[in-house]
Structure 1
């Protein structure tokens, strides 16, 4: 097989949650454990950090990877979903796994599977590929982002140095539960016996869940936002955020530069800082210089895309992968704080999200371009427009993201903003 044929096997012949939704979700780790065993338990051959949460886990993972890279460690990074290229999911020191590696690995799996007879999901097989690759390349540490939930996620066979749960929001409720408490319990499934756990955002509903699970596991528990306080200082000439950081009320850093431009990164940073603090206590050598350098060029070092991602200026063209109410709240807040003459929003969602909650947050004075991402889960653009009209959101419908984006750009004045979002897959099509 060549690379194109390999991707066709991965995307078309294996159940893939991103395309078909809950039907691809496995409610056990049987396949993951079988694959891990057949590949010689590769996850035991490198250190890890495990990152779960409703929003922010990708950003936290990339920031931590950048910090480790800046400190001189050979760093693996496993994240999902990808935006443009499958290989974005598996990186070492910011470099994506090669096409040849992917082709060879899948070819070998298919040959071996004639005997093994495993029927893995797309995600199960991808995790096995990543862990095997990291072990063979002898990484010092891998930052591993949870795909969905935590307890039954294929990544949850690792015993990390630190477990991180960024926050809890109402997303994937059909699988994880219909309340913050139920979802928190699923995310808390990554908490391991004796392993420190960092909670990024303290929430009244979920704190008792984390407290109880951590106590049962004898896992030291830390609420990062109760120790670290991050405040916006200013934006430099390149658009990077300059932030001030306090720990327990005392200035820790007067100026921390972030090349990740979303203002919501201020809420993700405490989890990163607390994790680095704990790692230093475990004798990981991460200086303040490495920490600050990694944060300053995290996007450049790790290839992170789609988080308040600026595509161009005059008009300002920006996209963001926020795809639930909690994430969209942060994006709308930043849109409201960004001066413009008129706001144009290219919007598409997938059909298993709480679309009404998302629509209720959006500004009615914007001009909308309703569209559908080119995946089976994409919500029909005409149905989306009809639903949006109930919230006073009006605009035209387009059969493709490309057409919607082109129309928005053509209608926008140089002092306007064109925002693209609502779904990771909508963003992927215009990057």
Structure 2
């Protein structure tokens, strides 16, 4: 195997399941790799807001002059996006030796790693060898049993918690909160940016002896239309510009970021100017991403009811559009009815799409789910074989003053980013 595609195909064949929670396999291979970090590690768990939190941490740390390493998942277009070193996506030739290291360590005992476990270990191995000043690790699923949790954190952040992946994590916020809180460590800062965290998170942090930072108690924020301010344990920042990431919910994420940086200030000091510059320059594809032009095009990887509710609020704040065209594709195990109900009042025409993965709900299944809604609006809907075909149909039907929304799975948004925006019709070009 001499290229990344071959290695990824190999990773897919090792374990019969796509998801198999548990740390035994990962710990065994990590021990053989001697996997450890010499720099501070920030681990980020939660249902929504993890990617934005990691991106803001990275942007501020880069502005402060620190060499950063970031691990996030899944990717939108290319696998290499999952690892960023010093702000740049990892290069294939840099990743390959670490896939080889993991394979050698795994093969000694024939450990059947999942795709996620194998690739996580390879990326962590690269990051550990990259002379980082700070490692920022996004938890893939849950927390306690996720492969990322094989690394002890120096500061944990738990973002908003809602019901998602119920078959693995539980069907209520308290149960899910216990799983997320599994990333906490005794004596280490535990920043919770969810304004109403489950009691299970607080109880676990206190029982463990973590240094718990709660929004509203240990840190808070305020703001008007022009600027916002943050206050923590004896430290304040006033007159801050809003984060470049769009959406009202981003202040919650940014507040957690500033709390984590405050908690780590002895090991990872950052200036107020680095915070201002980092928040102004942060960029993250697929999170309420607005593509300029006519009609307006909004891309968002909202794929659970909590995220879709935030997306709906952000769309409301955009102002008036004569019509909104909604391109939607999602996994079959999601709460599809709740997502469609939250977005229903805003969408004037639906374009349901198939996705290139067995986990996805088919376009026909999405259409049937929408048609079964008891109080849905009487608007038109169509089915399509791919997100790009659905977007092409939306572009053809939309007026220049309309808005097109592409949302749901990473596969939905990633496909559009991969293939590009379809050429606008003559009516859009005037």
TM-score, with structure 2 as normaliser = 0.90
Superposed displacement of residue 246, structure 1: 4.2
Give the match's secondary structure for 2:127: helix
Question: Per the alignment, do residues 15 and 324 of structure 1 end up closer, same or farther by CA in structure 2, a change over 3 Å counting?
Answer: farther
CA distance in 1, matches of 2:7, 2:206: 45
CA distance in 1, matches of 2:236, 2:23: 44
CA distance in 1, matches of 2:354, 2:39: 41
Instruction: List per-residue Cα deviations over 1:161-204 (Å, max 9, x = no partner).
Output: 21110121010111100111000000011111111101101326
Question: Per the alignment, do residues 117 and 315 of structure 1 end up closer, same or farther by CA in structure 2, a change over 3 Å counting?
Answer: same
Kept in 2: contact 1:230–1:267 (CA 8 A)? no
Question: Per the alignment, do residues 187 and 356 of structure 1 end up closer, same or farther by CA in structure 2, a change over 3 Å counting?
Answer: same
Question: Per the alignment, do residues 312 and 355 of structure 1 end up closer, same or farther by CA in structure 2, a change over 3 Å counting?
Answer: same
**Which residue of the partner structure matches residue 240 of structure 1?**
none
**Which residue of the partner structure matches residue 421 of structure 2?**
none
Q: 1:36 aligns with which of 30, 34, 49?
A: 30
- Corresponding position: 1:376 with 2:348: no
Which has the higher mean CA deviation after the structures are superposed, 386-395 or 117-126?
386-395
CA distance in 2, matches of 1:112, 1:98: 22
- Corresponding position: 1:360 with 2:353: no
Kept in 2: contact 1:199–1:222 (CA 8 A)? yes
Q: Equivalent residues in 2 for 1:16-415 (5 A)?
A: 23-40=17-34, 42-111=35-104, 113-203=106-196, 206=198, 208-226=199-217, 227-231=219-223, 233-234=225-226, 243-247=227-231, 252-280=237-265, 282-299=266-283, 304-339=284-319, 340-364=321-345, 366-391=348-373, 392=376, 394-415=380-401
Question: Per the alignment, do residues 33 and 246 of structure 1 end up closer, same or farther by CA in structure 2, a change over 3 Å counting?
Answer: closer
CA distance in 1, matches of 2:108, 2:206: 43
CA distance in 2, matches of 1:113, 1:154: 14
Kept in 2: contact 1:50–1:162 (CA 8 A)? yes
Aligned length: 408
Superposed displacement of residue 283, structure 1: 4.2
**Which residue of the partner structure matches residue 7 of structure 1?**
8
Superposed displacement of residue 57, structure 1: 0.9
Kept in 1: contact 2:137–2:148 (CA 8 A)? yes
CA distance in 2, matches of 1:114, 1:161: 31
Give the match's secondary structure for 1:193: coil
Question: Per the alignment, do residues 14 and 96 of structure 1 end up closer, same or farther by CA in structure 2, a change over 3 Å counting?
Answer: farther
Superposed displacement of residue 109, structure 1: 3.9
Superposed displacement of residue 111, structure 1: 5.0
CA distance in 2, matches of 1:188, 1:388: 35
Superposed displacement of residue 2, structure 1: 2.5
Where does structure 1 lack aligned partners over 5 or more consecutive residues?
17-22, 235-242
CA distance in 1, matches of 2:238, 2:258: 11
Superposed displacement of residue 232, structure 1: 5.1
Kept in 1: contact 2:228–2:242 (CA 8 A)? no
CA distance in 2, matches of 1:257, 1:179: 32
Superposed displacement of residue 55, structure 1: 0.4
Superposed displacement of residue 9, structure 1: 2.5
Instruction: List per-residue Cα deviations over 1:144-164 (Å, max 9, x = no partner).
Output: 110100000111122222111
Give the match's secondary structure for 2:148: coil
Instruction: List per-residue Cα deviations over 1:64-85 (Å, max 9, x = no partner).
Output: 0111111111111011111111
**RMSD of equivalent CA atoms:** 2.1
Which has the higher mean CA deviation after the structures are superposed, 95-104 or 84-93?
95-104
Q: 1:429 aligns with which of 415, 422, 427?
A: 415
Superposed displacement of residue 225, structure 1: 4.5
Kept in 1: contact 2:33–2:101 (CA 8 A)? no
Question: Per the alignment, do residues 118 and 140 of structure 1 end up closer, same or farther by CA in structure 2, a change over 3 Å counting?
Answer: same
CA distance in 1, matches of 2:293, 2:147: 41
Superposed displacement of residue 54, structure 1: 0.5
Superposed displacement of residue 114, structure 1: 4.0
Where does structure 2 lack aligned partners over 5 or more consecutive residues?
418-430
Give the match's secondary structure for 2:382: strand
TM-score, with structure 1 as normaliser = 0.90
Question: Per the alignment, do residues 230 and 321 of structure 1 end up closer, same or farther by CA in structure 2, a change over 3 Å counting?
Answer: farther
